[in-house]
Amino acid sequence: MKPLSQFPSFALPSALGSLLHRLPAYPGAMLLASALNLSLARQLPADVCDLLLHKKLRIHVRDARLTFDFSWTGQRFAASPQHEAPDLAISANAHDFMRLAQRQEDPDTLFFSRRLTMEGDTELGLVVKNALDALELPAFEPQQWSPRQLLARLGPRKRMAGVGPRENAGERHD
C-alpha cells in the first residue's frame, strides 16, 4: 500500500472533518507548538524571531476542519486560545501540509495552485517561508514515529525501567 503522501492529491472525508471539528482546539495547538519548539525554535534567525514576537499565528487544516492558534513568545512557540483575527493564517489540506513537511512539495507550487493560502500579514508570511526554506531541516518521516521506532529510541536503560518491551517478553517462567 502506498503512503498517503505519494498520492497526487487527497482530502480527508468530510465526515471525518466534521468529527475532528468537534474536538477542542487548544490541545492540538499545544502539540503543534511543542513540535515547532523541538524542530524549529533553536534554529530561527534572530531577525525572524524579532518579527514573530507576540504575533498571532494560525495553521488551518481545511479538510480536517482543525485550527491551531499559537504565538512566538521570544523564547518559544506557545499555544493560544483561538484568535479572532490572527496576524498570519496559513491554510491547506492535511495532505498538502504532510507533503510540505516531507519536503515533497514546494510551498510556492502549492501557493500558486491555490492549495496553500496565506491571509493577514503576507510580508510576515514571506519572511517565515524564506526562513524555513533556508533552514536545514530533516524531512518528516511518519515511520520514525511508529511505536516500534519510538521504543527503539528509548534505549535499553528505559526498557529496563519498564518503559519499553522487555527482551524476553515472549518467554514464560513457571
Identity of the highest mean pLDDT range in 32-41, 63-72, 147-156, 162-171: 63-72
Q: Are residues 71 and 120 in the same domain?
A: yes
Q: Which of 51, 59, 53 is nearest to 32 (CA)?
A: 59
Domain total of the chain: 2
Q: Are residues 122 and 154 in the same domain?
A: no
Q: Are residues 84 and 100 in the same domain?
A: yes
- Hey, what amino acid is at 51? L
pLDDT tens for each residue of 97-151:
888 888 888 899 999 999 999 999 989 999 988 888 887 766 556 666 567 765 7
Q: Which of 54, 62, 41, 173 is nearest to 121 (CA)?
A: 54
Mean of pLDDT values over 5-32? 73
* pTM of the entire predicted model: 0.71
Task: Write down the mean pLDDT value for the chain.
Answer: 79
Cell of 42: 533553536
Q: Are residues 18 and 91 in the same domain?
A: yes
pLDDT tens for each residue of 60-82:
999 999 999 999 999 999 999 88
Rounded-to-integer distance, Cα 99 and Cα 107, Å: 10
Rounded-to-integer distance, Cα 141 and Cα 27, Å: 23
